[in-house]
């Protein structure tokens, strides 16, 4: 909408602003609250020429751009940003209910990703907007007990799927307990941190600042990027390219197509020279950034575009979030709200100069398109092989059965699979529960055999993760044994459990469910909460066809807490404690 002068997005913590006007869900463009009295935000309308993506327009060019929604990582909820820590691996920040969370993602193609694991963040609250540079990383977080609208920036190290050595960025960046500092972006060498802050909200909107790492490891005072980048409106979600030449960001000021658009500003070489010298006075007074340039349609739309990022060459691949399809929410297509999109640079084959010398056929490696997955099904308690166990392979994300087999008398199984396909493998047995894992081998991998053993338990710990005090609206992913989000949804977990029970129901006397909570709250309250969560899971299994007479539940509340591991963060321990334990009672 061209006449919108000011926009507040209720992006919970990532874009949560302290004005008191906020949406708790994303919607198409609308004016959601009047501007603060002192803010003079009057963006101009962008009147340039959109990028023409029609074939007639691009067929004779050396290259052209395509724009598409990334497959498999979007959902009907909100997906905000991809932060790449290698060329094909990134951290996705997304919304799950009323929480911001993060998930490790592997990009199997430029426009297709697969969820790998959650990230263990030792802070109880919202976390996200990761960035990587040098030998470390930064992220933003709004802790549970913080003042509403406050957000701080933290530094940490990512070890596997756990954050370690988490420390606040310091008072030069995190100004005070009332201010909002978020959406950090580290330079490639880790020596400059760009971020958005509302510290100047009394005279303007949110601005983009930078801070420089000093020789002693401290960070300089925050320096405003100046009026070539910042307007009297809001500037958010900065991203500094790996070559340090360009700053991308979002703004609802300057000249916009509508709402928040993505802009670029060139960074002068002198900026990096002054950073290297540690000349803070020069950096405070220098003019290092070119006038903000709108990336124009079809990348920018009358909806909102935010969080630009790239795994390397930003001209070749540029990722961003947009709610341009928010009116098309679909569980079938797994899209809606804010989704992740990608702009890709494509070279026109007709215009590429092909080298005369071609590889001889013998020089081209031949890669077999299939491989064999094999292993042994073990008893998780005794490590003894389990014969005649069911092994089911499902295609992901279709959730259709690809093949089924049984382990032999020695517990061994073998299946033939296709490369470049995503699978979910589930092993179960008559007197056991199940073990499940995901499997993919890329098409360029020369491997022909993959060995993967599975361990089926007689007692199952199910960590369907609920918001505080909730018992009917779980978070999207179940937790693993460390209290970190896995890549399995709670619905898929219960589907597998229901299938496991139904396959051996004639041998089952009872399935006993025991609900466990953490230590927060009174004993009586936690006992009731644990029972309600058990009742929810039982009701979901009944919906999946499991006979009610097989299911029996009770609550232990906080009376059977797990032992705390040495050095374990209390928030991660509490997540592990929130669980439902299952036991099969088989007929005599």
CB 267 within 8 A of CB 337: no
Q: What is the pLDDT of residues 263-282, one digit of tens each?
A: 999 999 999 999 999 999 99
pTM of the model: 0.84
Residue 432, pLDDT score:
94
The residue that leads in pLDDT, 22 or 474, is: 474
* 377 falls within a domain: yes
* 3 falls within a domain: no
Residue 224, pLDDT score:
95
CB 184 within 8 A of CB 208: no
* 560 falls within a domain: yes
Report, as an integer, the average pLDDT of 472-488: 89
CB 561 within 8 A of CB 575: no
Residue 247, pLDDT score:
98
Shared-domain flag, residues 161 and 223: yes
Shared-domain flag, residues 295 and 408: no
d(CA 392, CA 559): 37
Residue 175, pLDDT score:
87
The residue that leads in pLDDT, 349 or 114, is: 114
Query: Above 50 in pLDDT, residue 354?
Result: no
Shared-domain flag, residues 210 and 72: yes
Shared-domain flag, residues 66 and 158: yes
* 308 falls within a domain: yes
d(CA 329, CA 76): 6
Residue 229, both tokens: 């980048």
Q: Give the residue from 426, 456, 486 where a domain finishes.
A: 456
Nearest to 493 by CA among 514, 472, 463, 466: 463
* 20 falls within a domain: no
- b/e code 236-249 from CB counts within 10 Å (16+ = b): bbbbbbbebebbbb
d(CA 494, CA 83): 31
Q: Give the residue from 431, 456, 481 where a domain finishes.
A: 456
Report, as an integer, the average pLDDT of 386-400: 93
Q: What is the pLDDT of residues 231-255, one digit of tens each?
A: 999 999 999 999 999 999 999 999 9
CB 415 within 8 A of CB 373: yes
Shared-domain flag, residues 482 and 452: no
Domain range enclosing 109:
44-351
* 365 falls within a domain: no
Shared-domain flag, residues 472 and 447: no
d(CA 17, CA 211): 21
Q: How confident is the model at residue 443 (pLDDT cuts 50, 70, 90)?
A: confident
Residue 132, both tokens: 């990587």
Residue 147, pLDDT score:
55
Which residues, in sequence order, are bridge partners of residue 180? 151
For the chain, the domain total comes to: 3
Domain with 482 in it: what CATH number?
A: 3.30.1330.60
Q: What is the pLDDT of residues 278-305, one digit of tens each?
A: 999 999 999 999 999 999 999 999 999 9
Residue 145, pLDDT score:
62
Which residues have C-beta within 8 Å of that of residue 380, sequence separation ≥ 6?
A: 432, 435, 455, 456, 457, 458
Residue 28, pLDDT score:
35
Q: What is the pLDDT of residues 421-430, one digit of tens each?
A: 999 999 999 8
d(CA 562, CA 461): 12
CB 296 within 8 A of CB 318: no
The conformation of residue 19, written as its DSSP 8-state character, comes to: T
Query: Above 90 in pLDDT, residue 143?
Result: no
Shared-domain flag, residues 308 and 204: yes
pLDDT averaged over the chain?
86
CB 487 within 8 A of CB 397: no
* 35 falls within a domain: no
Q: Give the residue from 412, 427, 456 where a domain finishes.
A: 456
Q: What is the pLDDT of residues 11-55, one digit of tens each?
A: 433 444 322 233 333 333 333 333 444 457 888 899 988 998 888
Which range, 147-161, 310-324, 342-356, is most confident? Answer: 310-324
Shared-domain flag, residues 450 and 464: no
Domain with 148 in it: what CATH number?
A: 2.120.10.30
Q: How confident is the model at residue 328 (pLDDT cuts 50, 70, 90)?
A: low
d(CA 428, CA 489): 19
Shared-domain flag, residues 226 and 330: yes
Report, as an integer, the average pLDDT of 559-570: 92
Weakest mean pLDDT among 299-303, 442-446, 538-542: 442-446
* 361 falls within a domain: no
Shared-domain flag, residues 441 and 553: no
Residue 335, pLDDT score:
54
Shared-domain flag, residues 494 and 440: no
Residue 134, both tokens: 């040098």
Nearest to 208 by CA among 189, 186, 182: 182
Q: How confident is the model at residue 8 (pLDDT cuts 50, 70, 90)?
A: very low
Shared-domain flag, residues 333 and 379: no
């Amino acid at each position: 909408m061209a006449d919108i002068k000011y926009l507040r997005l209720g992006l919970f913590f990532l874009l949560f602003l302290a004005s008191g006007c906020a949406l708790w869900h994303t919607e198409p463009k609308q004016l959601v609250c009047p501007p603060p009295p002192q803010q003079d935000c009057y963006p101009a309308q962008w009147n340039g020429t959109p990028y023409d993506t029609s074939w007639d327009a691009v067929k004779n060019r050396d290259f052209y751009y395509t724009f598409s929604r990334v497959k498999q990582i979007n959902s009907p909820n909100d997906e905000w940003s991809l932060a790449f820590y290698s060329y094909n691996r990134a951290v996705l920040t997304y919304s799950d209910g009323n929480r911001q969370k993060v998930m490790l993602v592997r990009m199997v193609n430029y426009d297709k990703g697969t969820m790998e694991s959650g990230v263990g963040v030792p802070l109880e609250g919202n976390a996200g907007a990761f960035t990587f540079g040098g030998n470390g990383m930064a992220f933003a977080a709004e802790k549970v007990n913080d003042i509403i609208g406050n957000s701080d920036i933290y530094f940490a190290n990512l070890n596997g799927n756990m954050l370690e050595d988490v420390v606040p960025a310091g008072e030069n960046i995190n100004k005070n307990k009332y201010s909002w500092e978020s959406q950090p972006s580290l330079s490639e060498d880790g020596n400059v941190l760009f971020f958005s802050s509302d510290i100047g909200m009394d005279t303007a909107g949110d601005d983009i600042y930078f801070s420089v790492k000093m020789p002693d490891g401290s960070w300089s005072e925050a320096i405003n990027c100046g009026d070539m980048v910042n307007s009297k409106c809001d500037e958010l979600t900065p991203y500094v390219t790996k070559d340090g030449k360009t700053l991308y960001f979002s703004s609802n000021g300057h000249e916009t197509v509508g709402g928040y658009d993505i802009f670029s500003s060139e960074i002068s070489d002198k900026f990096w020279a002054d950073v290297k010298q540690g000349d803070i006075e020069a950096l405070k007074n220098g003019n290092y950034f070119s006038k903000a340039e709108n990336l124009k349609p079809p990348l920018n739309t009358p909806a909102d575009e935010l969080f630009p990022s790239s795994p390397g060459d930003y001209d070749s691949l540029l990722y961003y979030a947009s709610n341009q399809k928010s009116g098309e929410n679909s569980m079938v297509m797994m899209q809606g709200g804010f989704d992740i999109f990608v702009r890709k640079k494509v070279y026109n084959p007709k215009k590429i100069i092909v080298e005369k010398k071609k590889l001889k056929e013998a020089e081209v490696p031949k890669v077999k398109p299939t491989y064999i997955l094999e292993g042994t099904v073990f008893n998780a308690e005794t490590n003894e092989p389990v014969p005649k166990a069911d092994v089911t392979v499902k295609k992901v994300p279709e959730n259709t059965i690809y093949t089924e087999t049984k382990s032999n008398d020695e517990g061994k199984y073998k299946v033939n699979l296709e490369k470049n396909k995503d699978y979910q493998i589930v092993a179960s047995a008559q007197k056991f529960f199940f073990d499940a894992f995901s499997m993919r081998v890329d098409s360029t991998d020369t491997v022909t055999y993959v060995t993967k053993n599975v361990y089926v338990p007689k007692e199952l710990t199910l960590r369907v993760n609920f918001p505080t005090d909730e018992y009917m609206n779980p978070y999207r992913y179940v937790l693993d044994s460390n209290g970190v989000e896995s890549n399995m949804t709670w619905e898929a977990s219960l589907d597998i459990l229901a299938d496991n029970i139904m396959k051996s129901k004639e041998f089952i006397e009872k399935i006993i469910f025991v609900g466990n909570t953490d230590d927060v709250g009174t004993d009586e309250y936690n006992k009731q909460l644990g029972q309600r969560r058990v009742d929810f899971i039982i009701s979901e299994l009944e919906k999946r066809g499991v006979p009610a007479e097989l299911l029996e539940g009770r609550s232990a509340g906080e009376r059977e807490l797990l032992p705390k591991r040495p050095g374990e963060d209390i928030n991660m321990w509490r997540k592990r404690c929130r669980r439902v334990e299952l036991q099969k009672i088989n007929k005599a």
